[in-house]
Structure 1
Amino acid sequence: MYQDNFNKGELVCIVINQEHRIKYSQIDIQTAHDYLQQLNIFDNLSGEFPIQYASGSYWVSIDRFHVATQPYFIITLTSKYYKCNNCSKALIDIATGLYNRNYWEQLNTENCYQSEDQRLFLIFIDIDNLKKMNDNYGHLVGDQAIKIVGEAIKKSIDKEDLGIRYGGDEFIILILNKEKEVAGKTIEKIRKEIKSETLKKGVTVDISAGVAYGGYSRSLEEMLEAADKELYKEKGTKEIGKTKKGMALKGLKKLKNMCYNIFKTIFRREPL
């Protein structure tokens, strides 16, 4: 069955809409359609997702996502001879259960989020000082921080929104067809969830976030770049705040020492 179209172990991605029309394929459209029919994919587009099964010489993984409330299906195929017992792992981040960088790349390549009549927000989140956390307390604590943030994202977004672990300490959220204030409210929800969980576990985890608005004239990569700039503005503000706080503490300490010395001079003895 068309085994010469891609190499053993190579993942092939196909995206179809609700009407079973191919919107994106890494192989030519006719061959992709043949795969969809021969591997019984059209018969497996209902139920709980993701769906994985074996058919002939192939592993099949099907997942669903929404664009402007319309369902799309992303299908990945790979040869059974490849060492892959659960091909959904190619799109799911094991540590958090969110989608991973591979999934982001597929969305970005497909450009299916570029729609003239759709409101789209991209939130870019970064865990503050994760490297320092790893260095001071070990990677197990750092891994715990990543899981806490991933879980907070899952609890804070709606089912039609997408949560993606972009890599390392960075996360992406795509929010569809919502008012502008929803992005800010979502970030606040995430922060509250993180605070609640860190209080239970006795750790400190903070995040910085940036938001970008998109539509048909702006690609996902352009939105990510814009959100990244906003994120680092917030980080810069935090650093300024820390510096001012440090200077204020030093000023208070200096004032305290001055008062102590004046007290000694007046009474010529140590205070009780």
Structure 2
Amino acid sequence: MAGPLENQDELNHDVTGKDGYVVVARRYRPQSFEELIGQSHVQKALGNAIETGRVGHAYLFAGPRGVGKTTTARIFAKALNCTTGPTIQPCQTCDICRMISTGEDMDVIEIDGASNNGIDEIRTLRKNVSVMASRCRYKVYIIDEVHMLSRQAFNGLLKTLEEPPEHVKFMFCTTDPDKIPITVLSRCQRFDLLPVTHDKIQDRLQFIVVSEGRSADESALDLVARRAHGSMRDSQSLLEQLMAFCTGHITVDDVHRLLGTTPSGRILDLLEHLSRRDAAGAIGCLHE
């Protein structure tokens, strides 16, 4: 089971905000392939590529929000650049691993495709791509929400993808691969990340609750997992809201109050009153 960031005391110094708090989703973000939850097919394929020396120059990680696309790209970048590697088990302790974990390594460049989607940004990328990595084995460009790039930007990027420098790896992340031109798709190794199963999400939430020194009803975590619809990040964000909303033990009623939803048992009671034409009882249910 994946835990909080490895070397917690040291890494928290780097990822903690000015107020000293690190959100749950970041604190429990997977740091290695073995910590990825629900994506064993991706873990195995990337691990085999590293072990056999068959790492491509461009990868596309597609899937719904919150399933680990960008996290997978970061772990892959770390595995390729760790001082003990390339390795499927990054050491997590060298300067390169630590800086990639905190998003501060100058050779692993993360770009938000939604806000940097024009041809000018891609021209800048193409100009910089020929510059060798300063200390890493590879310069890695991680472009999140790559489908948001303009047509002109894709055309500019295509020229680099056709003849990429040996020291550069591209990792694209998207929730909408159908919007990516086929000419770009055909030059990438594509991996589709799946929605995380309900049981895996619930197990992870239970682990986080215990790690945070809190407690929760199984039914409460079951409801949170169901509301996440396969998104691990969404489930952790909701759990964090719950832990702020409730100072003590978390119950399923707490979840309903936070979400503004009605327990199924109460709905059944209402239907029972309506079936018996019990107006007073039905109104009482609505007022509860």
TM over 0.5: no
Structure (1/2) with the larger strand percentage: 1
Structure (1/2) with the larger helix percentage: 2
* Pair member with larger Rg: 1
Q: Which structure ranks higher in relative contact order (CA pairs < 8 Å, sequence separation ≥ 6)? A: 2
